[in-house]
Amino acid sequence: MRRSRQSALARYRERRGQAPAAPVRAGFRHRRWVRLGLLAALLAVVWFTVGRPRETVPVKLTYELDLSDAATGLLVITLICDGELPPHLDLALPPGVFGDPRGSVHARDPVAHELGRDGRQVRPLRVEVSSAGWRLETRGSRRAGVVYSLDLRATPGSEQDIRRHISTPVAGGVRAAGFEIFLEPLGIPVTDVTVQVHNPSGMPLLVPWPALVRDGGPRAATSAVADPGQANLGFGQGFRPAAGLPAPAAGETPAAMAPVPTNLVYRPRDLADLNNALLVCGDIRTQAAQAGECVVQLATDRDWLFADEAALDLVRRIARTEMAFFGSAPSDQITVLLSANDVTGEERFDVYGVHTGSSVLVMLDRDTTWGMLEEQAASVIAHEMFHGWLGEAVRQTEPSMLWFTEGATTWYAARMLTAAGIWRPDHARGVLGARLDRDYANNGLLGRLSVSAAAAEVMATAEQVRYGYAGGVTACVALDEMLAGASGRARPLDEVVRRLYRDYRGQSLTRERLEAAVEAVTGVRCGPWLDTYVYGKTTLPPVAGLL
């Protein structure tokens, strides 16, 4: 009989008198692979149920702006977020001075609720203060609303930071910058933004571009401009004359007497457009004129020592000249708002200008005469309007490029006023030359601080701000003269600026894009020159041709 085979260990135990161990059955050879398969299946289930990236559905935002207490300097805003909300919804205080206790704008009293499809309040939502703003507990909610108040009355005249004077009470109402009043949700995509304005007293109201839409009327998804018949609030109050209204005769300025609806709707293209809005309501009056395809609008909340019609004509001439330089308007509407300069600090400027979206805010001394408007304030108007192309269309986002944005804009503002016949050439040369001598060539910061570094800090000391702006002008003129000598072209920087607008509209201005535009126009690589004179501390060469 054949003897069964023994292992070496069994034979050893038998010789030692130990009972042989029970035979070991052969194990399942693929057990390891089964375990790995089960683990992989478990991981797949967990990933599918928990970790699998979900298709993100953009959220719709509706802002309801209540002007009931605007005459007292107060606003109430309701923000409704509609869509697939995260467990926690962070609402950011917009960029700027919103929420700064030293600033003019104070958001307060947030109250949040989950909302039903009919707008009914389903349950309250907890609101916590976060580093950015407020955090809402929105777990399980698909529609949430938060109501908050804004107090625009806090800024004293001694506060010299002009940014704190943008949103403020005005005669009979308020002036409010979008970037200071509209909260933004963080970390979620937004597909649609709507602003509803409740204006129960029917006070005059200036609204941002793009146009208003009456009573929630439809707007074509492919058009940035609402239908004129729906968008208009009347001459001087909205986007353009309503369909069917007679056109004004040549040289005639239409009166701003149209009634204002009590409920308005406008739809910004995106959050950036929302933040660029400048809304003004109160005792304001407006005048409007056509400049090519663009509506030019003048608005003010006070009486001046000059006529509104004359000021509108000045603004229109500037707009037409700048549009001719670039070949088109940066937007379909440009509004210039003249307001009183209430800054009283020792280092105040006589005239301030702020560009917000398609609106230009100019703050003047209350006793400004027509001659002062032409000789002084006109340069601020031309400067801020030029930012519609260089600064807004070609976006200013990098502080290191402020030397070019502000320097070029200041230089071209003087040249635009000369081309428009508002400034005489000798006056323009005198203004520019005196400024460059005083604020750059004879500034104590010369050789100690680069032009780029000085211009990057827009709210530094008055001495540094003047040095940065005048240095930027000097740098642009010197760069133009260097490029002209190297390429044989007359005024090559003109074509560089137009090329930036043509090629990079809607994009940020960067040093790389500036150098690329310079090389494309002139064939010159200007990087080493910029390193020496703009980003370095070497004094810029003398300039000759200011105009």
Partners of 356 in beta bridges: 359
Q: What is the DSSP string of 477-544?
A: HHHHHHHHHHH--SSHHHHHHHHHHHHSTTSB--HHHHHHHHHHHH----HHHHHHHTSS-PPPPP--
Q: Do residues 312 and 202 touch, judged by C-beta distance below 8 A?
A: no
The pLDDT value recorded for residue 137 is 94
Residue 157 confidence class, pLDDT cut points 50, 70, 90: confident
Q: Does domain 285-381 have CATH number 1.10.390.10?
A: yes
Task: Return the domain boundaries, the chain.
Answer: 58-210+268-283, 285-381, 389-533
**Positions of E strands within 72-132:** 74-82, 88-92, 106-115, 121-125, 127-129
Contact between 107 and 150 (Cβ < 8 Å):
yes
- For the ranges 22-26, 208-212, 234-238, 476-480, the lowest mean pLDDT is seen at 234-238
Say if residue 5's pLDDT is above 80.
Answer: no
- What stretches of 231-314 adopt beta strand conformation (E)? 263-266, 278-281, 285-291, 294-300
The architecture (CATH level 2) of 58-210+268-283 comes to: Sandwich (2.60)
Cβ-contact 113, 79 below 8 angstroms: no
Domains 285-381 and 389-533 share a fold: yes
* pLDDT tier at 47, thresholds 50, 70, 90: low
Alpha helices in 249-307 (DSSP H): 271-275
Nearest one of 172, 465, 200 to 339, comparing CA atoms? 172
**Do 146 and 138 meet the contact criterion of CB atoms below 8 Å apart?**
no
Express each pLDDT in 480-524 by its tens digit.
999 999 999 999 999 999 999 999 999 999 999 999 999 999 999
| Mean pLDDT of the region 321-330 | 96
The whole-number pLDDT of residue 321 equals: 97
Banded model confidence at residue 203, pLDDT cuts 50, 70, 90: confident
pLDDT beyond 50 at 328: yes
Q: Which of 185, 186, 184, 214 is nearest to 199 (CA)?
A: 214
- Is residue 53's pLDDT more than 60? no
Instruction: Name the 3-class secondary structure at 219.
Output: coil
Is the N-terminal amide bond of 248 cis, ω within 30° of 0?
Answer: no
| Strand pairing class (333-340; 359-364) | parallel
- Relative to beta strand 190-198, strand 168-170 is unpaired
Phi, psi of 228 (to 5 degrees): -55, -35
Q: Encode pLDDT of 361-418 as tens digits.
A: 999 999 999 999 999 999 999 999 999 999 999 999 999 999 999 999 999 999 999 9
389-533 domain in CATH 1.10.390.10? Answer: yes
- Distance of alpha carbon 408 from alpha carbon 404, whole angstroms: 5
